[in-house]
């Protein structure tokens, strides 16, 4: 086995697509789809094989689908020896944090699936109750985006930084009018805003009702000590052993995803020289290349295939 420490990273909502479960259908890990179906009451095989892209954009269905594929990718990567090294840490982008909690031993598949189902429904309901949207500001420095959002809030606008994804890529969340104003003003701070096709103002105070609903389920959930440190979205810190997971999961819904700092925690203090992305797409690999071009990245989005490695691998 390679002795380079490995970090496992799991994608979030937005990476879903039609038939994304097809590559996994004939693998032993397909049993995970059946297990998630049994726990949640949703037909995961149908969602992963036959559901249209438009229907998969529904928040609750997208989250269950991406979560399930991420777990299947992890199971097959372990089985096939793709990870190839000691795992020093895990992290997930937003929803992906729940897959990271399973990989680290904090949650069982069933407990995590139940929470993901509650989380997705609660976020969908919160978005339906209060219209919101999101946009990604590219090229502008984070400090300038934060200052613009703060200035707008001081004037009464509802807008917050929601994701700090990578240098020059910051997602904002808030009311449609406020996000429209960010688009108009982004050039003044050296950036450009691209609207995101999402159903709500996620990772903002608009999700407070969802946090309350999720909290009720979290209080009844059993969490085990983390066998592998999990770098959490809300503070970009590595949490090993016992942690206040209910508080961290609740806070995540209304706080920004500190992804850039999380990756730097994996590659810095935790010493990960190789990051393995597990789940649909290659979104996180692209962000990681912008954050730390020297780290090796491997994307596992199908089984028994040569993994795609980044141009910046060592």
User: Cβ(140)–Cβ(168) under 8 Å?
Assistant: yes
* Alpha carbon distance 200, 291 (integer Å): 27
Is 262 an active-site residue?
A: no
Catalytic residue among 29, 65, 94, 262: 94
Q: Count the helices and strands in the chain (H runs, E runs).
A: 12, 11
* Alpha carbon distance 38, 43 (integer Å): 8
Helix intervals (H) in the chain = 31-40, 44-49, 53-56, 59-80, 96-103, 109-129, 142-154, 176-185, 208-218, 245-254, 259-267, 283-291
233-237-240 Cα angle (round to 5): 110
Is 94 an active-site residue?
A: yes
Catalytic residue among 74, 93, 203, 239: 203
* Alpha carbon distance 135, 116 (integer Å): 24
Distance, first Cα to last Cα, the chain: 17
Annotated catalytic sites, by residue? Answer: 94, 203
């Amino acid at each position: 086995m390679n002795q380079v420490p490995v970090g496992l990273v799991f994608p979030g909502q937005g990476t879903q697509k039609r038939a994304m479960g097809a590559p996994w259908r004939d693998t032993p890990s397909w049993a995970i789809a059946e297990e998630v179906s049994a726990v949640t009451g949703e037909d995961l095989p149908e969602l992963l094989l036959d559901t249209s892209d438009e229907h998969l954009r529904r928040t609750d269905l997208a989250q269950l689908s991406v979560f399930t594929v991420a777990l299947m990718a992890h199971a097959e990567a372990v089985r096939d020896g793709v990870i190839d090294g000691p795992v020093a840490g895990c992290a997930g982008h937003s929803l992906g944090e729940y897959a990271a909690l399973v990989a680290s031993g904090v949650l069982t598949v069933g407990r995590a699936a139940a929470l993901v189902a509650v989380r997705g429904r609660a976020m969908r309901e919160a978005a339906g109750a209060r219209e919101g949207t999101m946009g990604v500001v590219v090229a502008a420095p984070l400090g300038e985006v934060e200052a613009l959002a703060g200035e707008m809030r001081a004037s009464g606008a509802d807008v917050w930084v929601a994701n700090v994804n990578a240098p020059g890529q910051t997602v904002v969340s808030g009311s449609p009018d406020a996000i429209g104003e960010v688009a108009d003003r982004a050039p003044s701070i050296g950036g450009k805003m691209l609207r995101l096709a999402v159903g709500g103002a996620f990772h903002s105070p608009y999700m407070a009702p969802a946090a309350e609903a999720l909290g009720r389920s979290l209080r009844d959930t059993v969490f085990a000590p983390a066998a592998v440190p999990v770098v959490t979205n809300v503070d970009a810190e590595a949490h090993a052993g016992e942690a206040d997971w209910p508080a961290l999961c609740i806070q995540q819904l209304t706080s920004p995803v500190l992804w850039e700092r999380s990756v730097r925690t994996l590659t810095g203090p935790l010493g990960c020289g190789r990051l393995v992305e597990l789940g649909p797409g290659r979104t996180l690999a692209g962000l990681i290349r912008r954050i730390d071009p020297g780290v090796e990245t491997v994307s596992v989005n199908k089984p028994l295939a040569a993994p795609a490695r980044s141009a910046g691998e060592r």
